Amino acid sequence: MPNGGSDCCGTCWHNRSLEGKRGGSNFNHDIASFCEIRELHIDEPFYTYCANHPAHRPNHDSIPIGPVYVGLERKVWKESPDTEEIRQHLLHIVRSPKKHAYLFPNISARDRAIQQLLEWRDTRLISALEELSEQRKTAEGSERLKEIIRLVKEHLDDGSES
Ligand code: SF4
């Protein structure tokens, strides 16, 4: 049974061991754990995590979002692959006003998308956040986003000077 958190590979429909289903009761111990969307062998499925898990992306999102994490501290294990399709997908997640699953806020899809684009120093992140900000209805939400945009710009400017 999962004991490292219910959003682990051991309960994820992208893990071959679950044969397309979701939930620890569908885990088949006779099938080696393998992440179908990241093409990755998973040695410890109940202690491995990523933002594509159905708890974060309930609509079957199969484009990798950020890294894969391991252990109770959820340390980065495998970095995200980097393609233009993946970047476009992350930008879409950032812009999207739709509700994201925040059951496990430490790996929320939008936060992972922002962090990954920042790491790649993709300046399109700024306009994606600005688009999101324009859609915000509450002053509080809008102010918080403006602060995030300011920090992102600062971070990207710092990097361009080095
Ligand atoms: S790495 Fe992510 S998508 Fe792949 S099986 Fe694990 S939780 Fe699911």
CA distance 150 to 39: 36
Instruction: List, chain by chain if needed, residues with CB within 6 Å of any ligand 1 atom.
Output: 9, 12, 14-15, 35, 37-38, 48-50, 52-53, 68
Summarize pLDDT for 16-31 with one digit per residue, the tens.
999 999 999 999 999 9
**Distance from the CA of 9 to the center of ligand 1, in angstroms?**
5
Do the Cβ atoms of 42 and 48 come closer than 8 Å?
yes
Phi, psi of 148 (to 5 degrees): -65, -45
Domain locations in the chain as residue ranges: 9-122
What DSSP string runs through 35-58?
ETTTTEE-S-GGGEE-TTSTTT-T
Q: Write down the pLDDT at residue 1.
A: 46
| Atom 6, ligand 1: residue with shortest CA distance | 9
**Distance from the CA of 129 to the center of ligand 1, in angstroms?**
26
For residue 134, give the amino acid letter: E
Summarize pLDDT for 63-84 with one digit per residue, the tens.
999 999 999 899 999 999 999 9
